[in-house]
A and B are shown apart, each in its own frame.
Chain A
């Protein structure tokens, strides 16, 4: 069944390349796509059989060869991460699926979870087998109720069919999988905070090291991956590492679920090879903007915004190129910001978000973001700005950046610093004259 495409002479970096076809997202939205019978009719649970026939170490090698990098935002090499799990240490190992998708602008995992749960389960069985894990948890954000029901039903079906539990598919490998529902906290996307939440605690992040592969859930070796990463592992075991490595750029391999939101003709999730340009994604796939745009958030709200110009639009969407442009690929959640909306107001919304979601553990984030930064922005947008306010925000940012316990405070500085750099005149207008360059307008309309 391993239909490995011949090694392409030139890597696939466009969704319009005839060699490219969606796989991760191929069954989303099809009737009954969430059932075991549908999944099996479409080649489901063949990848796991191939994994069992290869052996655990070969599976890790295959994932390494594929070039897959974590799709949750950080982009760490997945095969390498898997190889950090200790071997033969006699302890139980855990794997966790991070399905706490809460980065503003990201909405890919929701469709994978509710429309193709077996693809995720298969990926987790493969990963567990490779990392000698006997128990897995899917930590899903509490608000994804519909998806949680689908996942639970799929786990039941898989268990009844011998795909989970003792002696999976007569391989001698045991793997139990459970769903754990969160309850609404952005910080649970941070892997150590997620583990605390799973242990029934407040979701404060833990100090690293020790890293989860050494001491994670219940102090035992644990690996956490994003939903899309596990699903990509299923596809890699199905079609081979070379097929996966034939897509994308030199260091960013494979396909990615990109999401487009904001005023474009066709907002939604598009599966495209890494290295596709912003221009192709936004114009050819999402149908182009519906009004004049001034900025792009390239990968979820914590990624610094980029100016809407030809240079940005021609930037390939891979980890390195976007980093070179001064931002991050993040979760691939692209948002376009209209010219006619006040950038300070939009940034205030994000600052307020991070302020609300700060766990309160460390001072730079609790006081710096939740209190000072939020109040400075509120002061500006409410028309009480004073000369020097923008400089004060910059000074505060300098004292917050790199000084917080986890990445949440730095995430908040992404939109703050980039918006000041790109649109300083809008800030100055509010600070000097207390008037926004772009006044509030009614955006709630019937289409």
Chain B
């Protein structure tokens, strides 16, 4: 059965975001690919045809677009698809070693799925987590940041028991009530020379 046959509301919602024109129809391509991939893990040949028909183009065109982007899959991935950032900021924090460790421990290479169907791995480019490097993303579920060897071991152990830990989404620097930047542990930073805590809280949000 067509994936979208019983999802007319969803399809209509996606199309409503773009102009009612052939070009606008084509814009729905990426959201539709994402829909299928989120539900099925990858996009097979039949689904390519269905998406192409909806967008008024050909399956070859859909496949061409998919091949351009790194997060689309035309092959099945494992239940947990581990994406390790390999770009220089993570590399300086040990992502090369993290990658080697994962490939060895899980006995899986990029493009493969581990024999139990649980794991697949992918090296990805900078995911914008340079301040909390190294990092990996699991499926589409969120970031696992500052992945030290012991944290990596804990994550793998949980995944092997099919208990995926929640992504942490840490925010290393926030702003306190006085409008001063502080760390997660409450330490106010930028204070090494003048002692910021002594300064009057001039926060431009107040009434003049």
Query: Do A and B interact?
Result: yes
Interface of A toward B, CB cutoff 8 Å: 1-5, 15-16, 18-19, 21-23, 25-30, 42-43, 92, 101-107, 109-111, 114-115, 141-146, 178, 180-186, 197-203, 218, 239, 243, 259-263, 266-271, 280, 283-285, 287, 301, 333, 335, 337-338, 341, 346, 349-350, 353, 356-357, 359, 442-447
Number of interface residues of B (CB under 8 A): 84
- A285→B29 CA distance, assembly (Å): 44
| Interface residues of B, dominant DSSP | loop
B183 contacts across to A, CB distance below 8 A? 266, 268
Q: Known interface pairs A335-B88, A346-B92. Does A107 touch B131 (Cβ–Cβ under 8 Å)? A: yes
30 pairs, A vs B, C-beta closer than 8 Å = A3-B205, A16-B190, A18-B202, A19-B202, A21-B179, A21-B201, A92-B19, A102-B128, A103-B126, A104-B88, A109-B128, A180-B30, A181-B34, A183-B34, A200-B27, A202-B65, A202-B68, A218-B23, A263-B92, A266-B172, A268-B183, A333-B130, A346-B92, A442-B97, A443-B96, A444-B93, A444-B94, A444-B97, A444-B101, A446-B148
A102 CB contacts on chain B under 8 angstroms: 125-126, 128
- How many inter-chain residue pairs (CB < 8 Å) link A and B? 247
Given contacts A142-B69, A143-B127, A285-B181, contact A15 B174 (CB under 8 A): no
**Chain B residues whose CB sits within 8 angstroms of the CB of A267 once the complex forms:** 130-133, 172
- Complexed CA–CA distance, A337 and B64 (Å): 38
B108 to A: closest C-beta gap in Å: 19
Contact call B205/A43, Cβ cutoff below 8 A: yes
In Å, the complex CA distance between A92 and B21 comes to: 14
Given the known interface contacts A145-B142, A146-B143, A200-B27, the answer about A180 and B17 at a Cβ–Cβ threshold of 8 Å is: yes
The smallest beta-carbon distance between A31 and chain B, in angstroms, is: 10
Residues of A close to B200: CB separation below 8 A: 18
Q: How far is the CA of A446 from the CA of B93 in the complex (A)?
A: 11
Residues in A neighbouring B180, C-beta threshold 8 A: 21
Residue of A nearest to B140 (CB): A145
| Set A200, A218, A266, A333: member contacting B65, Cβ < 8 A | A200
| A183 contacts B97, C-beta separation under 8 Å | no
In the bound complex, how far is the Cα of B95 from the Cα of A24, in angstroms?
A: 31
Q: Chain A contact residues: over half helix, strand or loop, or mixed? A: loop
Write the residues of chain B forming the contact surface with A, with a CB cutoff of 8 angstroms.
17-19, 21, 23-24, 26-31, 33-34, 55, 57, 64-65, 68-72, 83, 86-89, 91-98, 101, 124-134, 137, 140-143, 148-150, 167, 169, 171-175, 179-181, 183, 189-194, 196, 199-208
Cβ of B23 to closest chain A Cβ, rounded Å: 5
Q: Which 9 interchain pairs have the tightest Cβ spacing?
A: A444-B94, A29-B174, A183-B69, A200-B29, A444-B97, A184-B70, A261-B130, A29-B171, A21-B179
Q: Which of B83, B180, B199, B206 is packed against the most chain A CB atoms within 10 Å?
A: B199
Contact, CB under 8 Å: B175 / A26: yes
Q: Is the CB of A268 within 8 A of B173?
A: yes
Q: In the complex, which residues of chain A have a beta carbon less than 8 angstroms from the beta carbon of B88?
A: 104-105, 301, 335, 346, 349-350, 353
A200 touches B28 (CB 8 A): yes
Query: B130 contacts A15, CB within 8 Å?
Result: no
Name the residue among B30, B69, B88 with the largest chain A CB count within 10 angstroms: B88
A447 near B148: Cβ-Cβ < 8 Å:
yes
> Does A338 contact B92, Cβ atoms closer than 8 Å?
yes
Q: Give the distance in Å from the alpha carbon of A294 to the alpha carbon of B185 in the complex.
A: 30
Q: Is the CB of B124 within 8 A of A143?
A: yes
| A16-B190, A218-B21 as given contacts; A337 in contact with B137, CB under 8 Å | no
